């Protein structure tokens, strides 16, 4: 058990069957009346954010969310298979547990599998990945005055906007959080 007076950013706890994480907290001591703790909480399973106030002496059950490195192997229809790097056990995870930025993950890449009490609720891809451009239109000389961009398809099938100088076969560094091109790694 943890008291609301001990809340810090990142603390996870269970309340009313939900697993909540403290995003922001503020201890408030008004001129008259009792002190309280104002919080902004994120439901770690659904991602929704709520604001709630607590009495500093209120107790909640602390929750331990497990993050484990696993290697993405392959997908078979609606199931994606990951391998535990310690036991080599393979576990299937349904597509609805994957975030939109999973489109940047190719086979044999390590991801973080996030679970609570053995139930997987999220898959976190690496923050940066390097992917090859498989399809893009050629850029034309003189088009660069406006800082223009063009669509490019990557080896995983994901599509992003890239500068005009990027060609097919270039390997790009991508930020999976923002789906943005960062830099060209090599030019084949």
- Token digits for 48? 């929704």
Last residue of a domain, one of 124, 151, 166: 124
What is the residue-level pLDDT of the chain in tens, covering all 188 positions? 888 888 888 888 998 888 898 889 999 888 888 899 999 998 887 778 999 999 989 999 988 888 899 999 998 888 999 999 899 999 999 888 888 888 999 999 999 988 888 888 888 899 999 999 999 888 665 555 566 788 899 999 999 998 888 888 899 999 988 888 999 886 55
Q: What is the CATH number of the domain that holds 97?
A: 2.40.50.140
Q: Structural domain tally of the chain?
A: 3
**13 and 43 assigned to the same domain:** yes
SS3 of 39-81: EEEEECCCCCEEEEEECCCCEEEECCEEEEEEEEEEEECCEEE
The model's pTM is 0.70
Print the domain residue range for 40. Answer: 2-62
**54 and 86 assigned to the same domain:** no
**55 and 6 assigned to the same domain:** yes
**56 and 9 assigned to the same domain:** yes
**132 and 159 assigned to the same domain:** yes
The half-sphere exposure of 131 on its side-chain side, counting CA atoms within 13 A, is 30
């Amino acid at each position: 058990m943890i008291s609301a007076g001990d809340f810090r950013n990142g603390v996870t706890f269970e309340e009313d069957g939900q697993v909540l994480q403290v995003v922001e907290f503020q201890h408030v001591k008004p001129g008259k009346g009792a002190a309280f703790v104002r919080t902004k909480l994120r439901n770690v399973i659904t991602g929704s954010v709520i604001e709630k106030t607590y009495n500093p002496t209120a107790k909640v059950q602390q929750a331990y969310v497990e993050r484990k490195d696993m290697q993405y192997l392959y997908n078979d229809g609606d199931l994606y298979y990951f391998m535990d790097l310690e036991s080599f056990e393979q576990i299937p995870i349904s597509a609805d547990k994957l975030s939109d930025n999973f489109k940047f993950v190719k086979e044999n890449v390590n991801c973080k599998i996030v679970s609570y009490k053995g139930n997987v609720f999220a898959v976190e891809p690496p923050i940066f990945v390097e992917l090859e451009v498989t399809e893009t239109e050629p850029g034309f000389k003189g088009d660069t005055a406006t800082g223009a961009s063009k669509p490019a398809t990557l080896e995983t099938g994901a599509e992003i906007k890239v500068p005009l100088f990027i060609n097919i076969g270039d390997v790009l560094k991508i930020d999976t959080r923002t789906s943005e091109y960062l830099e060209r790694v090599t030019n084949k």
